[in-house]
Each structure stands twice: as C-alpha cells, then as structure tokens.
Structure 1
Amino acid sequence: MESQFAALLRRHRIAAGLTQDELSILSGISVQAISTLERGTRRYPQLSTVRALAGALRLDPDQKSALDAAASRRGRAKPRSPAAEATEPPESTEDETEDETEVQAVQEAAEPGPPQQNREAVSPRQLPFASGDFTGREQEIEDLRRYLSASPGVSVTTITGMGGIGKTSLAVQVAHRVAEHYPDGQLYLDLRGFGLGPPMEPLEALTYLLEDLGEVPPVDLPTAAARYRTALAERRLVLLLDNAANHQQVRPLLPGSGGCAVLVTSRRSLTGLGGRQFYLGEPPLHESIDMFRRISGRYDAPADDCAEVVRQCGGLPLAIRMAGARLASRPSWPVAHLAERLADGRRRLDELQLDDSGVRATLNLSIEQLAGSDDPTDVQAVSLFAMLGLAAAVDLSAPLAAALAQLPEPEAATVLERLVDVHLLTTPGPGRYRLHDLVRVAAREFAEQTLTEDERRAATTRWLQRVAAVVWKASEFAGHGLTRERWLDPGRLDAADDLPRQEDVLSWLDHERPALVPTIQQAVRDHPGLAVQLAVGLNAYYARRRAWLDWLLVTEAVLPLVEEGADRIAEGLVLHDLGAAHAELNQYDEAVAPLRRAVAAADASGDENLQSLCLSSLSHVLERAGRSTEGIPYAARAREIGLRLGVPARAAWACLALGMLHLRTGAAETAERLFAEALDLLPDPGQRRQRGLVAQNVGVAYREAGQYSLADRALRHGVELYRAAGADVQEAVVLTELARLRLAEDSLDSAARHLGQALAIAGQHGDRICEADVRRLLGETLHRQGELADARREWRLAYAIHTQHAIPIPADLQANLEFG
C-alpha cells in the first residue's frame, strides 16, 4: 500500500541534504526506524516521532501540519468508514513498533518483493499559469506546437538561452497549447539548476514525479528510474522540466517509451540529451515594443522612445518587463526619461532591478552555478567572464581572452565555449564571441568586484602589447618608412614572434579587426602611450585593407594625446594619417587642415623625411581638391628635401605629385619631364614595384586629362613592371585602370577583356577588395553593352564584398543598384 508519509519524509530529507544517518543523529530516531518509515513499511508513526523528525528537518508550520496529517490514520487519501475505524487495533508504542519493523526490514532485505503498483491512474494538471501579458513569440510557439503535436512517440525538446530570455514563459505557453493532444495530463518540475542552493538530484526529482503520478517511489535511483519509465509507458502527457542544470540531471527523468512530450529549459546547452535543440534568442523589435507598451500601460508612447528603451534593455524580455513595470509605477515619467536613465551603463542594472529579482540577480545565478561546479573549466569560466568585462570590443576572440587571462589560446577557446554553453556568450561566427549588452554591464561590474585595479590594468596592458606587436610586424612587412622605423621601439615586435609570415600577421589582424577601433578608443583613456603606438603602426595594415573609415576613427581618437606634445614626430605622423584617411574617403577639403598641421609638426620635429612625406601628401590633396596652383610649392619643397636626403622613393613620390599638379595647370611638358624623373629615380630591379606604382599614377593622371595615348603607354608600362616584380594583385589593379581607359574610349569589348584578366588574378589570390573594384566596373561595362541583368548581378556581388569588408560603398555603385 502506498504511504503518503513515506513520500513526504523522503522529500523533506532530500531537500534538507541529509542522509538517513544524519537525520537519525539530529532527531534521535534510529536509522532502522527512519528506513522503514521512508519505505512505507511503517505507515503511522507516533506523534512524538513525527515531531522529532519535523524539528530535525526544520519544517515550517504548514509542512509540519502536512506531515502530521500524513502520519494520522485520519489523514489518509481514502478515509475509512466509521466501522472500519472502530475495528482498527490500537497503535503500539514506539519502541515496540521499531523492534517489529527492524525484524521486518531484515526480512525484506533478504527477500525483496516486487514494487507495489498504484491502484488507480492519476492525471496531474500541474502546468503553471500562462501569463496573460505574454506577447509575441508566435512563430516559435507555432513551430514547437506543430512539432510536438505531430510526434507519435516520445519527443524531447530542449529550449536553451541566456537567463531572462523567456525560456520558461515560452515553454509554459507551448505546453498549454499542446495539452489537448496529451490526455493523460501535464507534469511540471523546477529542477533548480540555476538558483539558490544546489540543483535537484535526479532521485529527488523522480520522487516528486512518481508521487505525482500516484506511484510509491523507491529509495535508489535505478529502481526509481525504472518504475518511472514503467508508469509513463502507457501514458500520453506533457512533461515540463524547467531550469535544468545539465544533461546528467535530466537523462534519468526521460520516458523510455510511450507518447509523452518532454520540454526541457536550461541556460546550458544540453546537446547530450539528443532530441530537438531549440535556441531562444531575442524577440523582434516590434514584439519587444508591444510587450513594453502592454506592461507599462503606455500604449500610445512614441515608437522611437519605446525602441530606445528596448535597445537599452538589449532586447532581453526580463529587462523589458522590469523596465515596463518601473514605468507603470511612475506615471509621471515619460518613456524618454526612462530611456535616458537606462543610457547610463553603470546604473542600468539598478534601473532593471525589483527587490531581489531582476536582470542582475538573474545573470548572477549563472555565474554562481559555474563557481559552485566541480569542473575546473567552469571555475576558469568565472575568472574569464570577469576579464571579458574589461574588453571594449563588441566582438571577442580566443586571442583576446588568452591575453587578458594569461591562458594558452586553445585553453582560452575551450573556456569561451563553456561560457557559450551557459549562454553568457553568443557566437555570431566561428571563432567570434559576443557579450549581450546587459551581460557586458554585469561582466564589468563583476570585474570591478573581483579584480584589483592592478590586475585589471595588467590584463588590458597584455592585450594592447600583443596587438601593438602584430600591428608593427605588419608594418615591417610592408616597409615602415624611415620616420616610422626610427620612431619604432624594436622591442615592440617581440610579442608577435609566433607569427613568422606576412599572411599569418594579416590573418590575425583580419580576425581581430572588429576589435581594433574600440580597443584603441579605450586605450586612449587607460593606456595613452600604447594607444599612440597602435595608431602610428596601423597605417600599413589599414592601407592594405582599404579600411579608411577605421583609420580615420583611430587617428581622431589619439590626436588629443599628441597635439602640441613633446613628441612632435608622433604628432606629425598622426596628423598625416588623419589627412590621408580623409583623402582616401574622397574628403579632400577635410584633409587639407590636418595635413597643414602635419607639415608644421614635421618642421618642428626637425625630421626632414617626415617633412617630405607630409608636404607630398598635402600637395596631392590640394590637386585632388582642384587647388593645383596652391599645391605646387609644397610638392616642389618635398622634391628638394627628398633629393637632398638621397632617399629615392621619397624624391620620386614628390616628383610624381609635382608632375600631376603641373599637368592639372596645363604645363604638360613640365609634367612629362617630372614623371620621367620620378621613374629615373628608381632604376634598380628591386624597385620595380615602386616604379609600377609611379607608372600607374601617371597613367591615371593622363587619362583624367583626356590624353588617352599617353595614359595607355603609362598603364601598359605599369602592367609590365608589376608583372616583372611578381606583384600580381597590383597588376590586376592596373588592368582595371586600363579597362577604365577603354570605357572612356568606348572600347567595351577591350574593357571586358582587361576586366576578365583582372578578375581571374583577384580570384586566384583571394583579394576580395580588388575583386569588388573589378566587378563594379564590369557591371558598368555590361550595362553599356545592354546586358542589364548581368550588370546588376556584378553590382550586387561588388556591393556584398564592400559590406562584408566594411569598405565605404562608392556613390556610383549605390546609384547603379538603386536606379540601374
């Protein structure tokens, strides 16, 4: 016969974390007596026994009353008739009963009998209330509903996501909607995987579930799991296992056969369970706004203000709910005022807190669960989480984590994946990691609470020194230039010894590129010296990748650190790069002022090579801005300095700039003489690449001046020089310029041939930026040939490359896609 008292006693003992031996010591009741009570052999103990057990278990008044009722014959589930009650033998004394049950326990241990079966089926209805203000998620609900309703056998669906994302709310909604397909009821159990206290043990969970099914739970896990599977084999019900810790906790709770639908929610990925894995992300913006309006009661609030609140909440449903509740309790607050308060990152979590609940408390549970784990990787994940709070970048990586935490990179990658498993990180792409906005705030708080100021500074310094070493190694491969080479401390390169090849360096920087700008912007505040080192060294990498906007942002960020400071060379280099970045973005008027100031800083520094560089760049910008006459004196001075220094490359570039200025003013013969001088200054075979660059620019200048035959000769010369130098990608660039010349001459077939050659070279070398230029021009060629569909395809491919590589989209490409 089943014993309600046995089930309650076992449940309270397990919840208290006590063994039978420990409960015996605390209560004064023998272990044998407790054992027989939990097995139901002795169903109605003395009142003194019940009170001793209740006191040892520290039960509250309601729990004590329930235990008293279960111990009484009058508290049985099926009341006996008065006649039967009258014939019940009097209860024996406690000592006598314990003596009898000890003997019986020994007999049962020697000859175990079959488990007792329930007399009648129980159909539980345990699903929590489905909130009336639940908003959105209709697509997810329909997807899950359709999947569960169509499953003929046992189906297991795991809903995972970060804390506060709405896993339980979604699971409850889905369970209610499919309940009609499961006539034998619904079971719900909170497994306490993330919360106060330890997660529920599988045996304790099975005890609850078996009791709710009307079964008598045994005291060992294998028997309990087998009896549980038997109880579910002939039933069709919904089982919602909420807040699971890991797949080891859940696996014993899964039906073995039958037609049950199992929904499991967890903050940890539970791939070990099999079944369907359903990751729950942030809802769409319109659903989040609807939710916020409903909870706050501001149905007519401006959409932009509501959207800003949602954005400050990171789209997290729990945060939106807290923000809405906060606004509902403050009817005088406009929505915009709450958005303004939330904009302060340091107090944002305070605004999203209600009593002991809220976003901060929810996120802290995930950290506490990792910290309490016996798995060393979980413990490492807690330390790394604090370190990640120091990073300014949105996108994170294993190299960054390794530098911050002083871990080998493979080990750092393993720990990052563990943080993904518990949904404290997301992974937008292979090797890329990202903190949710509110998780970032929590990580920063955690870092401030657990790390000293010296530890925080040491961690960020390690990362910046690593980035600086790789940046300057890229510059070394490209050729620093005399001024940067003299300014460089060679020791900066030591931290990049593990990247011996240029392709290794470029690949590393490509992977870390999203983090470079925010990293330097943060370093301006915390590590100004390293910020300047990084900015000055980045010109080679940014020029190679045409990352002009990034270059502009970096130089603007560090400029206040070097303006009119002691290091006039650093000031000149930063101002020069700022002007050059503007020029590459075709912002020639904006480039003039910083380049004039760069010339002044270079003059003050006494570095003549830097003077020649800044003067040449300023003259080129003035030529592009249509102020050629104004630019001639600067280029002439740059040429004179370069010749006096005996630096051929510097003198050649100044001659080229001066020749382009004279060509613009109509002095064609002077321009031709200067172009020839520029080439003559670079006679060595090792200078073919530089000669090719001069020839390329001369060809472009002649084409823009309408002198097509001279342009053709110069560009073909550039192709020959690049080909001889083995500079394949540069050859493709000149072929593209030749195609532009052919388009100007209306030789469309010839233009298409040059572009085909260039596209093949770009594809062979994987140079997507060159490919984008070729496809953009190929689209124009096809369009003029009447191949409109093919033209649009090329333009779309070019647009996609520009977008993927964060390259500013040319105005003509944008216009062609819109109107072509």
Structure 2
Amino acid sequence: MESQFAALLRRHRIAAGLTQDELSAGSGVSVQAISTLERGTRRYPQPGTVEALADALHLDPDQRAALASAASRRGKTGTDKQRPKPTVAASPRQLPFASGDFTGRVREMDLLTKHLLNAKGVSVTAITGMGGIGKTTLAVHAAHQIADHFPDGQLYLDLRGFGIGPPLEPLDALTYLLEDLGETPPADVATASARFRTALADRRLVLLLDNASDQEQIRQLLPGSGGCAVIVTSRRSMAGLGGRHFQLGEPPLDESIEMLRRISERPDAPEDDCAEVVRQCGGLPLAIRMAGARLASRPTWPVAHLAERLADGRRRLDELQLDDSGVRATLVLSIEQLAGSDDPVDVQAVTMFALLGLSDSVDLTSALAAALSNSPEPEAVVVLERLVDVHLLATPGPGQYRLHDLVRVAARELSEQMLTEPDKEAANTRWIKRVSAVVWRGSEYAGHGVTREKWIDKEWLAGADDLPTAEDILAWLDRERPNLVGTVQQAAQLHPMLAIQLAIGLNAYYALRRAWLEWLQVNEAVLRLVSAGQDRVAEGLVLHDLGAAHAELGQYEQAVTPLLRAVEAAEASGDGNLQALCLSSLSHVLERTGRITDGIPYAERARAIGLRLGIPPRAAWACLALGMLYLKTGATEAAERHFTEAMDLLVEPGQEKYRGMIAQNVGVAYREAGRYDIAGKALQEGLELYRLAGVAIPQAEVLNELGRLRMAEGRFDEAIAFQSEGLAIAGQHGDWLCEADIRKSLGEVHRAQGRLPEARREWRIALSIHEQHDAHGAAHLRDLLAST
C-alpha cells in the first residue's frame, strides 16, 4: 500500500496546481527528492523537508499537522497494533489549497454549491469526467465555497483510483478518515464503516473523496445519517451511487481563453491566437493549464508560436507535458488502471483503445470497433461502453462514440506501442473490406450498371451476409456515412486497390442520398491512384463520377475536363458501354454550359455506340441528350424525333420505369423551353408509366414537376394540389430528400401568390431536413430565407 504521506503530498501539489518543478522552486527541495517522496521510495522525510514543502504549498495548520503526522508513521498499516494513539481532530480542516487562478465554471459552481447547501440530510454528489477535465479543481473550490455552512470541518482523501500504485482499499481509507476524526480504527471493514457512520451522525462536515476508482470503493465511506455533504470525483461513471451527478465537459471558449491568459500572465494576448491554442488543447483544462505554464516560462514566445507547435499532432502531447503532471501522464493513468484490472472487459478495453487510434474517423461506431477488433458487434459495444465509463470515449448519441482530440493522440501513441505493423494492417484491412462489402451489396440492390457489373469481383460482397435486405444495407450506410469519405482517404494511403474499389462502389449510395460533395471527395481521393493507366475501366469510372459529381453540384465548367479524360480512358479500355456513358454525360454538361454545338457530336457518338452494342438504355439516354441539345438550338423537329426514338428504344416489358424517366426529362426540357402544352403531356405520361411500374418516389418527383409547370402557367391551386399529392407519397415512403424538394417548390408557389409566411414555413422545414441529413442544397434555402 502506498504511504499516506506520498498520497497527501501529491494531492496537495496537484490541488495547488503546481508541477514538481514549480514545487521544487518554491520549497528548495530538489525535484528528485519530491519525485522520490511521491513515489514512496523515500520513506522518512526530515521534519525540515516536510516544513519546507508545507510552506510552498500554503497549507493551513491542520493540513501541516496531517502532513507531519503522515511522515512520522510512514509504513504503518491500519492493522498495526503498535500505532500511536491518533491525535484528536474534532474539527478537521483538510481541504487542499484552492488555486488562485481558478477561472470559469460559473454555471457548474452555481449548480453544485446550491445543491450541496440545499440538500436535506446527507447529500452525495459525484463529479465525473475524463482525466484533466478539472474535476478535483472544481470539487475543491466548491468545498471551500460551502465550508462555512458545515461547522464541523472538512475531510479530504485521495482514493488513488487512477495513479501510481493500487487504489486505496476501503479499510485503509476508513483508517485514515477515522484517525482524522480522533477515532480508533478497527481491523475489519464492516466495523470500521459502522464506526465511521457513527462518528459522522452528529456532525455537519464536508467529505471530499477524490479520485475514486469505482462505486464499490466509495460505498463503505458514505455517512448513513446526519447533515454531511459528500463530494466524490472519479473518471468512472458513478451512476449507481445515488445522489446528484455532474458529468464535466469542456468549459466554454471564453472561459478557456480567460484561463489561458491568467495562467500565462498575458491578459491582453490576442483572442484569435488564444482560441487556436484552446482548440489545439481540445478545450481540456489541464491541457490549457500546461499551455499557459509553457507560455509563462517562455515570455518571448508569441501565443501564435505555441499554437503552431501544437498543430503538429505528433508532438502535441510533448508540448503539453511538464514533468509527471502533463496531459499524457494523466491519460496514461486511465489506461494503466484498465490494464491492471482483474476484469477481462477492462483489459480488452485497452486493446480496443489502441485499435481506435488507427482510425481517422471523427465519429466511431460499434461496426467500426467490431471490424478493427475482429469481434462480434455486441461484444464490441460492451468494451466501448467500458471506455465511456472511464471517459476515454464520449458518446454523443446511442451507438455513436467519439474520441477527444487529445485522447485520439494518446490512442495513436498506444497503437504504436502495442500493435505490430501486421496487426495494424490486418485491423485496417478488415474495416475497409467490411465497408466495401456493404457498399457493393447496396450497389447490387440499386443495379450496378453494365460496366460496373462486369468490373466487380463477386467475392467483394461476401462480407455483408449479415445484412440480408436493402433496408438493412441502407440503414448501415446511413449510420456510417460520416466515416465513408475518411475511410476512402485513409484506404488511399494504406490499400490503394481497396480504395479504388470502395470509391467506385459508392456511386449508387451517394446518388440515392444526393450526397454530391461526398461523392466528389471520394473520387478526388483516388484520382491519382487510377491515373497510372493500369486499369482504364477503373480510371474511366472514377473520372466519369468525378465529372458527374461536379455537374450535380452545378459546377458544369469544372465537370468538362474530367469527363473529356473519362472519354479518353473509356476508349482505351475497349468498354463501349462506358464510352457511351461518358459521351452522354459530357454532352449534357456542354449543353448546360451553353456549348450546344460542341455537345451534339458527343451525343451522336454515344447513340451510335449504344445501337451498335445493342444496349437500348444507353442509346435511349443518348437520344434524350440529343433531343435536349436540338431543342436548345430551336430545331424542334429534330428534338421531337430524338425524344420519340428514346421512348421507342425502351419497349421491352419491365422497362416502364425507364420510359417514365425519359418522359419526365422530356417534360422538364419542354417546360424550360416554354412549351407548356407539350411539357404537360410528357409529364402526365411519365406519371402514368411510373404508376404502371409500381415505383412510388418517382411518382412524387414527377408530381412536383407538374406542380412547377402549373406554377409557371400561373395555375397556383393546381400546382399546390399536385405537390401536396407528391408530398404525401414522399412522407408515406420516408424519402426525406424528395420531401425537402417538394417543400422548396411549394414555398416558391406560395411566394408567387404573395403568401410569404407560408413560403418561409415550407423553406424552413426543407432547410431543417437538409441540415439534419447534411444534404446538398441547404445554402440555396438559406439564401431564399434571407431574401424574403
């Protein structure tokens, strides 16, 4: 068991906010001697040493006496029968020094002190949070704040739940507490606990139990009756302890900046530079304190210079480390406490923590953890929740997990220490292959298309057998969507071929969710990997998808170059379908940029290839593109001829949906050309074809287009009727993107009628949907709301 003197010295130093170096400078005792004393290696400090340390720590008389007493009985245990009779301390005053640079926590202090003062009978309050978040500092300041209301004194005990050596056993803790109350401690925990409750029954005092390892360590130390206020701090959850719980998070930015300025002794430091230092510290009070101390000891450093040094993630923890009290040391204590546990889940949590350090994903999920650890997902959840319990992981929502920025750095360091290169590669490969399997299974449900169908390896789908339906696949991808771009980017560094495979497979999912920016990002991530020309089909697909993503974002000029390169790669590949696809997309983009005559030859080539290869859908889409191009030139007869040919190419049974898509696009083209009569007939035909095909959401989309047509004609009631019908279908089938589109159009109809409140209501709902699902189009809706 660690000596009481070592524990007392360390907790007084930490409570005072001093490093070992700073305590050495203030006391004249060497850093080596202080370190030896805190580790318990040096067992009998001289009285002069104890006095010097007490002076530097600004201890009050009672605290000095306790420190001296602990030094004189070093090495004794709670069962030592030669123990001298304890000194009676009827009204102990053991609270550590309250640091003078305590800043912020205004809301927490207010809630905490009010609760402690207003509670009836015994009150138990737990303050939990990750290491370095400021639990002890807050508890000490709150205890000092209320001390005058508890006339029988204050007891303080560091339970050593996270620190050097094992946690304090309940019997040892009770021994210290009883002696400090002038009681003789018995030899067994049950009797000691009962005597402690008796000793407190008629007292009103503050009991601060700091750094608890878990709830079981605390239970025997709680008063049974009376008017005591108990404050417990721990890195573990204390949900089962009862009483009030405060889970401490990062303080607000303004409080953090004020703290940095006070500790660094730079009250006028530039706010932006201070904010950047705070951001690099992840808002963690201990890290901010370390950063402030570093600036105070380096008065020639601008704050911006420290911010630049902290920006290097590889050495960030080094910058925030002063002797043994820095951020790294604090986080390591949590990890070591898990590693030394007898609970196998705790031990598994250490490995899981290291594995999570391999991921670049901001949001971590149980699926990711299961793949990295090669374990069933329910088992991974148990381990993840254990990391949450010790505040090494945060959980922003059910099934969602997140690493604090500095904790992520520590996880990466641990992964470097614990895991071999083959271990790391195997873990990353499992995750990338898992994502790829789900992505390609989703592509299969949507229909790969001719080129992707020939390009894929069916073995890629084998890792998604536990997701049997399209709904399961889509739900999984929606949960993992925040990680997908990062996964492709990381795979591009670690597994180039898997990265290409994953990026090409994401086409169907991103098209369904209209996540055009993310689609752009994944193709940009692998562009350099396919540019070597070894797989011209892959190169053509990536370049085509990159250009198509630009086009969907309205960036038509930026789409031209990748689509020209896609045509070149497709021609070199010998894949005629891919060539026709790229030519059709290029002709569409050129039409949108106003280069009509440039686009016609590309569409003609696409039509010829589709007809030659006997791929009616490809030829039909080329005919549609030609019709749109000729309509823009005023050649209405040529346009009508090509539109008719497009429909005639899709006459086989089962192609009603695709005929509906052609008719819908023809209707939109005629509406944009001002030919409302023809547009109405085409859109109605599209609606009937969709109904015949039994597809619901396309019906809602074409109803919205009919509503926009009627609005252009000034027939507002009919417009609202069409769009309301479409809105009902979208709501019934849960297509939130379609709902948002229709609500945007409804708002435009209301605005055209002069009904601005109704218009703004629809746009606000549409904006909320876009923001909730991070969908493209939110910026335009914000502009609409700002302009009305």
Same fold (TM over 0.5): yes
Distance 2:481 2:6 in 1: 56
State which of 724, 730, 733 in structure 2 corresponds to 1:762.
730
CA distance in 2, matches of 1:58, 1:612: 82
Greater mean deviation of Cα atoms: 295-304 or 550-559: 295-304
Alignment partner, residue 387 of structure 1? 355
Is residue 528 from structure 1 mapped to residue 496 from structure 2 by the alignment? yes
1:791-820, Cα deviation, whole Å (9 max, x unpaired): 322211111111111112355411222132
Q: Could you say if the C-alpha distance between residues 557 and 186 of structure 1 is closer, same or farther in structure 2, counting changes exceeding 3 Å?
A: same
User: Residues 91 and 181 of structure 2 are in contact (CA less than 8 Å); yes or no, is this contact kept in structure 1?
Assistant: yes
Partner of residue 222, structure 1: 190
1:619 corresponds to which of 564, 581, 587: 587
State the partner residue of 1:725: 693
Per-residue CA distance 1:406-451 (angstroms, 9 max, x = gap): 1111000110011001000001111111111111111011001111
For residues 739-790 of structure 1, give each alpha carbon's deviation from its aligned partner in whole angstroms, at most 9, with x where no partner exists.
Answer: 1111111222112111211111111111111111112222222333344333
Residue type of the partner of 1:182?
Answer: F
Aligned to 1:21: none
CA distance, structure 1, for counterparts of residue 627 and residue 345 of structure 2: 64
Determine which of 716, 729, 747 is the counterpart of 2:715. 747
Match of 1:239 in 2: 207
Matching residue's letter, 1:803: E
Aligned residue among 44, 49, 67 for 1:60:
44
CA distance in 1, matches of 2:140, 2:637: 83
Name 1:479's counterpart in structure 2: 447
Contact 2:623 2:646 in 1 (8 A): yes
Q: CA deviation at 1:118?
A: 11
Residues 1:794 and 2:762 are matched in the alignment: yes
Question: Shift in Å at residue 225 of structure 1?
Answer: 0.7
1: distance between equivalents of 2:273 and 2:94? 40
- After TM superposition, the structure 1 stretch with the greater mean CA deviation from structure 2, 456-465 or 796-805, is 796-805
Per-residue CA shift, 1:212-231, capped at 9, x if unaligned?
Answer: 12211111111111111111
**1:289 and 1:522 mapped to 2: Cα distance?**
34
Return the letter of the residue paired with 2:660: G
Q: Does 2:131 correspond to 1:163?
A: yes
Q: Judging changes above 3 Å, is the alpha-carbon distance between structure 1 residues 61 and 345 closer, same or farther for their aligned structure 2 residues?
A: closer
Contact 1:576 1:595 in 2 (8 A): yes
Pairing partner for 1:208 from 154, 159, 176: 176
CA distance in 1, matches of 2:251, 2:189: 40
User: In 2, are the aligned partners of 1:426 and 1:435 still within 8 Å (CA)?
Assistant: yes
CA distance in 1, matches of 2:594, 2:238: 64
| Structure 2 counterpart of 1:705 | 673
Cα shift at 1:592:
0.7
- Equivalent of 2:381 in 384, 407, 413: 413
2:326 is aligned to 358
For residues 141-161 of structure 1, the C-alpha deviation after alignment (integer angstroms, 9 at most, x for no partner) is 111111111112111111111
2:356 paired with 1:372: no
Given the alignment, which residue of 259, 262, 269 partners 1:291?
A: 259
Instruction: Return the alpha-carbon distance in structure 2 between the equivalents of residues 782 and 238 of structure 1.
Output: 64
Which amino acid in 2 is paired with 1:791?
A
User: What corresponds to 1:196 in structure 2?
Assistant: 164
Q: Distance in 2 between matches of 1:775 and 1:674?
A: 33
**CA deviation after TM superposition for structure 1 residue 357, in Å:** 2.1
8 Å CA contact retained: 2:514, 2:776: no
The CA deviation at 1:654 is 0.8
Distance (Å, rounded) in 2 between the aligned partners of 1:441 and 1:476: 38
1:345 alignment partner, SS class: coil
CA distance in structure 2 between the partners assigned to 1:784 and 1:772 by the alignment: 19
Larger Rg: 1
- The answer as to whether partners of 2:547 and 2:562 remain within 8 angstroms in 1 is yes
Asked if 1 retains the 8 angstrom alpha-carbon contact of 2:215 and 2:238, the reply is: yes
The aligned length equals 727
Mapping 1:90-489, distance limit 5 Å:
122-489=90-457
Contact 2:771/2:778 (8 A) holds in 1: no
- Where does residue 473 of structure 2 map in the other structure? 505
Q: Distance in 2 between matches of 1:763 and 1:297?
A: 58
Q: CA deviation at 1:57?
A: 11
- Secondary structure at the aligned position of 1:156 is classed as strand
Contact 2:87 2:179 in 1 (8 A): no
Residues 186-206 of structure 1: CA distance to partner in whole angstroms, max 9, x if unpaired?
111111000000000111111
Instruction: Work out whether residues 701 and 726 of structure 2, in 8 Å CA contact, stay in contact via their aligned partners in 1.
Output: yes
User: Take 2:94 and 2:293, find their aligned partners in 1: how far apart are those partners?
Assistant: 28
Native 8 Å contact 1:802 1:809 kept in 2: yes
Match of 2:462 among 486, 491, 494: 494
1:531-586, Cα deviation, whole Å (9 max, x unpaired): 00000110000000111111011111110101142111111100000000001111
Asked if the contact 2:7–2:158 (Cα under 8 Å) also holds between the matched residues in 1, the reply is no
SS of alignment partner, residue 187 of structure 1: strand
From the superposition, tell whether residues 767 and 13 of structure 1 become closer, same or farther in structure 2 (CA, over 3 Å): closer
- Determine the C-alpha separation between the residues in 1 that align with 2:361 and 2:88: 61
Secondary structure of 2:659's match? helix
Does residue 568 of structure 1 match 2:568? Answer: no
Task: Determine the structure 2 residue equivalent to 1:583.
Answer: 551
C-alpha separation between the residues in 1 aligned to 2:307 and 2:687? 58
Partner SS, residue 342 of structure 2: coil
Q: Is the 8 A contact 2:536 2:570 kept in 1?
A: yes
Task: Check conservation: 1:11, 1:207, Cα contact below 8 A.
Answer: no
8 A contact 2:740–2:767 mirrored in 1: yes
| Aligned counterparts of 1:369 and 1:325: Cα–Cα separation in 2 | 28
Between 459-468 and 793-802, the greater mean CA deviation after superposition: 793-802
> 2:321 corresponds to which letter in structure 1?
Q
For the 8 Å contact 1:14–1:204, the answer to whether it is kept is no
Q: Secondary structure at the match of 1:354?
A: coil
The letter of the residue matching 1:593 is T
Return closer, same or farther for 1:65/1:807 CA change in 2, 3 Å cut-off: closer
The 2-side partners of 1:165 and 1:373 are apart by 23
Distance in 2 between the 1:243 and 1:609 partners? 67
Which residue in 1 is equivalent to 2:56?
Answer: none
Q: Alpha-carbon deviation of 1:119?
A: 12
Question: Contact between 2:88 and 2:183, CA under 8 Å: does it hold in 1?
Answer: no
CA distance in 2, matches of 1:10, 1:546: 63
Is residue 88–residue 180 contact of structure 2 (8 Å, CA) maintained in 1? no
TM-score w.r.t. length of structure 1: 0.86
Instruction: Give the drift of 1:635.
Output: 0.6
For the 8 Å contact 1:310–1:320, the answer to whether it is kept is: yes
> Contact 2:89–2:180 (CA<8 Å) still a contact in 1?
no
Q: Percent identity between the aligned chains?
A: 69
| Contact 2:436–2:460 (8 Å) recurs in 1 | yes
Distance 2:87 2:337 in 1: 41
Structure 1: unaligned runs, 5 residues or longer: 1-7, 16-55, 67-76, 78-101, 106-116
* Partner secondary structure for residue 207 of structure 2: strand
Matches within 5 A, 1:61-76: 61-62=45-46
Q: Note the C-alpha offset of 1:181.
A: 2.2
Could you tell me which amino acid in structure 2 is paired with residue 426 of structure 1?
A
What pairs up with 1:533-572 in 2 under 5 angstroms? 533-572=501-540
Q: What CA RMSD, in Å, does the superposition of the two structures yield over aligned residues?
A: 2.4
